[in-house]
Structure 1
Amino acid sequence: NTLSSFKKLIVKNSNMAETETLDFSPHPPQLSDDNPTGNEDQDMLDADKSAKDSDSDSQSDSDSDSEDDAQQNTQIQALETELLNNPSNYDTHVQYIKASRKQGDIEKLRQAREAMSAIFPLSSEMWQEWTKDEISLNSGLDALPTIEKLFDCGVSDYLSVALWCDYLSFVQEHDQSVRTLSAAGISKARNLFERALVAAGLHVTEGSRIWELYREFEQAIFLTIDETDADSREKQVQRIRNLFHRQLSVPLADLCSTLLTYKAWEAEHGANLDVDSSNLDGLSPQVASSYQKALDMMNARTHLENQISHKVAPESERLQHFRDYLKFEQSLGDPARIQILYERAITEFPISSELWLDYTHYMDKTLKTSSLVRDTYKRASRNCPWVGELWVRYLLSLERSRASEDEISAVFEKSLQCTFSSFEEYLDIFLTRVDGLRRRLSLLTSGAESSNLDYIIIRETFQRASDYLSPHLKNTESLLRMYRYWARLESTLGKDLVAARGVWERLLKISGSVLEVWQGYIAMESEMGNINEARSLFKRCYSKRFPGTGSEDICNSWIRFEREYGTLDDFDLAVKKVTPRLEELQLFKLQEAKSIGVSADDGDNSSRKNVREKRKPVSNLIEEQSPAKRHKDKAKNVKITSEDGKGISKEPVKVNDKKPDVAASKPVSGSKKENRDVTSGKPQQYDDQCTAFVSNINLKATHDDLRKFFSDVGGVVAIRILTDKFTGKSRGLAYVDFSDDKHLAAAVAKNKHTLLGKRVSIAKSDPKGRKRGSAAPGTSLRQGDNADQTTESSKSGAKNSAEGSGGGLQPSSHHRASNIQLKGKNTFAMPRTVRPLGWVDKDQPKSKESDSVEDENPKSNDEFRKMFIKS
């Protein structure tokens, strides 16, 4: 019964006693030794009061216990629910075990411990607590194998001298064969002691405890030998002496006290030794030499032992002390001492992945195919299941040790249930599994091995890897590597060319924009002699746009392929297809370089250039033609669709590509809109009444960067970054709308401030432009704008539009583009602040200066020049 049930039983008995005591039937008081006064009623009342007080206390304790039980049940139920949802929560397992042990439910406690040990290694303290509970509950012979199995599991998780001592003591006490010192029992105990010495006998600070238990056991055997059996007694004495000699040759913390104990023992058996001194007089030279060597080794390690035993030091510092200690041991080259020091380190730092990686690497290098290495990897994967490299090495270790396919498959499946930090780790595990299957299958095909292994397992493994990793590794070299490997194995081991091509086609659907994917597919067909199939792949991909120089590379690869494999007709066809494409790519590259170059101009130099060019005369191109002639050329060569999209406006737009700082446009007749969104067919208006024009922006700057740049100013309503039509990349220009003039003025005050390493130019946007005559041709039409950048970008936008209208990129030229026509969508890239040469705002009153130039007759070149250079 639980404590609560036991208390309820006590309360029930107390109530029964009260019922039997209270008797209200009339009868005379009886005198007796128990009632000398004869006042039986008073005695009964006193007894009743005492019983009620006792019952009240019992009831209070019962209520308190009931509340505790209810809280424990609620806590256990909550922990069970949490473990059901997340069985990999280590802390929840620990709390659940503690709560179950406190409640006293042995079966539930046992199940909780078994569930946790199946997932995680338990600490030595938890194993000691578990074994003690089981020993207290089961003391019969039937429970002996179960408890011994628990001890075996416990000592295999971590190095624990205390747990080994409990294990040895339990066997000596509860195993009847060992307790009676039968031949089988003695053999069993000695084997267990030797296991303990191998596992923990070299532990510098605690290893002597196991040596002492071993000697005590052998001494107990000696005492049971009949004195008349001199030979057996002598053999046993020699066995104990050998244990002393072995212990004295090991550098342990209490080496000096062990020497004194040994000398006292030898004195008991007839040796003439000074048992009170630690000198080596009287000892055999071999024992004295081994002891002195062990003492020197201990002295060399004393400072290292002191460092790692400093518990109050930070964990990082203590871990570094262990690393220093390990380097010291590795320099001496004793594998047993290095291994036990690693065990001590991982006991202190069980989830240090770097420590486990170092440990397993050392074991691989030293023991290679030993079962001990496999066991180490198993423990490493239990302590650090999130490290993919440990699982990869674990699979390789199993393959080296000739593990069965079932065991390797089980470890592989278990690794896939873990959570890794990157998808590359999952890919490494999949490929390691495939590597092992390929090697074993190759041995099967060569007749070196016999098994039921089939290529279908490799295909299924690749299929699982593809389904899981393709969405996450799209357009990466890792995914290409896996698919290339898969396709090669399909054609070589699987002997299925159709399946190999299916692998490549599947990859093209995922990463068809990656040049290397097409190259890999083509290379496979070429290596297998499938020339026509490789040629068809070139035809499918030569017109695709690949990053960098990929588009040019695939075109050149096709030409080279036809030179090496094709006929003359094939070569001519390839040249015919590729040549226009290469020209188009070259023009596009030039256009992109020009656009980037314009946006990257420095703001300070542009400002100085703007000041200089205000006094420059009109270009020679304008001087060579009269205004009437230029107006006639415009009407012939440049057209733009009307606002309603049905007709042609009477006042077309002219783009002058002669000078890099001249680009103009004239509004559509009858429209007051500043710009047009021709992509949608609807006019779009920007008043720019409270807008800042920002230039010389870093090409990597985003809307968030600009918003953060103006965060101290505030009032940002909208941000519009100008981008290239073809590449979509920033041109280094932007418009920033503000809520009012106050915020705009504060934003303009940030002119020449640095944004992402570049000094940006900021000016108020002036959509109506300056009065005619206030600036020379080629200068900015915005007040305070960067002239070079604004006009150049306007020219670039107009040119991009012109090139786009022809269905392909045309050769660029530094001469006047007299045959370019801007139609439909071709005008969308034109900056909305650019005005045609000579444009006048009708809303503004005309000055005398402007009246003087509104002459109906065309002016001569000299008059035209004087009009613009007038100061």
Structure 2
Amino acid sequence: MQERCGNAQDKGHTIAEKHPPIQRVKNKTAAPIQVTAEQILREARECQEAEIRPPKQKITNRTELADHRLRKRKAYEDSIHCARWNKSVWVKYAKQEESQKDFKRARSVWERALDVDYRDHTMWLKYASFEMKNKFINHARNVWERAVTLLPRVDQLWYKYIHMEEMLGNVAGARQIFERWMSWEPDQQAWLSYVKFELRFKEIERARAIFERFVACQPKVSAWIRFAKFEMKNGELGRARRCYERAVDKWADDEEAEMLFVAFAEFEEKCKETERTRCIYKFALDHIPKGRPDLYRKFVGFEKQYGDREGIEDAIVRKRRFQYEDEVKKNPLNYDSWFDYIHLEESGGNKERIREVYERAIANVPPAEEKRYWQRYIYLWINYALYEELDAQDMERTRAVYRECRKLIPHQKFSFAKIWLMAAQFEIRQFNLDGARLILGNAIGQAPKDKIFKKYIEIELQLGNMDRCRKLYEKYLEWSPENCYAWSKFAEFERSLSETERARAIFELAIAQPALDMPELLWKVRVLGLH
């Protein structure tokens, strides 16, 4: 038993020795000598042993050379057997054979590599580079021919092939390769490279013919601009202008037309054709889609440089028009922007533009049938009607504006007394009393309001139609029997006609109503009016 306890104590002592308890650091102050991470890495690098490299072997006879070549080939063949798809092994193998001046074997390696994957254009490039470097020109041509035949959409192969022929002085051959390439209708850069090739040999007419084929093959705005700049660079201003005009005929309504018009205007500006430049800018601003900031900025800068005061103001107005167009495009229900836009057009005085903006503005009907959303919108119709009546002086259009506005308002949920009254007052100004009465009668039938009754009664009173006033008061009270103001005004109306009994009877009927809004007002008017 004691022996066991002793063994257990020895065992516990051994465990404690292996895993000593973690002691807390008592002194946490910085050490006098600080060790940086950079110093630790430097010391670790210095302590590393030197890399073991195999010694350089010196081959002294043909037998050793043959053995060396055999070992290298066997190593590469084994690597290829394990990873046939690894292209770097093929490249190293071919370069090894090339360094040994065994060009047939190197060529064989390249051919085997292409059998693995002929779609990799980098292998074709390296293969052709090998042939060119060792001055096997016909072999290189053969490689390029096969490459561009199998991979005609890889531009780099065509570029390298043409560059080789051009360096050899074979201009006709390079031109022939370009023609074969162009038959595939490549991208814009390929056509421009063909043009530059002809220009290097001063073949202006050939370059011009290439540009004609280019704009026919790739009809883009940028292609026409490059064609025009080519003509301008060669001093052919008339030809350059015709290029721009042909482009405008085709691309005036395109999304990229802004770039074309800006380039055309800058060309005319360089030619000192100020009026032509101004006409181009104005034509562009009138025909291209809205929202083109660069065109407006260019036009304003041009007018500030060459224009007079009116031209500058016109340019600024156009720029502000673009800003408003941008605002209403972002938020069509922002009626304040529409008001500002309309005010800008009204300052210009162009009736067609003003009406167009009004029509676009009133087309943005509030989405919800709640009066708070319509309170700002309805003033667009009011301003439209006032413009047609006062500025345009087109009475039929004014009448049509009021009529369409009344049709649009959902009178079953809410209405606007101002619209009814303004329409009726317009008819009165046109001496159309029947039309005014019809409008006010419809207002009472569809959307009766205090303002409508009061104004209708006031109009008939001014015209001296007492019977009509009396009937209107009756309609008024039928619609709102609790309205003490209406009762008192009806009684005062009868009293003003010396109809005291009628006035007294009206007061009696008013007092008999079950729920009056202000009965004290009614009693006060009765006492003061009848006594």
TM-score tier after normalising by the smaller chain length: 0.3 to 0.5
Whichever structure has more helix as a proportion of its residues is 2
Whichever structure has more strand as a proportion of its residues is 1
TM-score, normalised via structure 1 length: 0.27
Point out which structure has higher relative CO (alpha carbons under 8 A, 6+ apart): 1
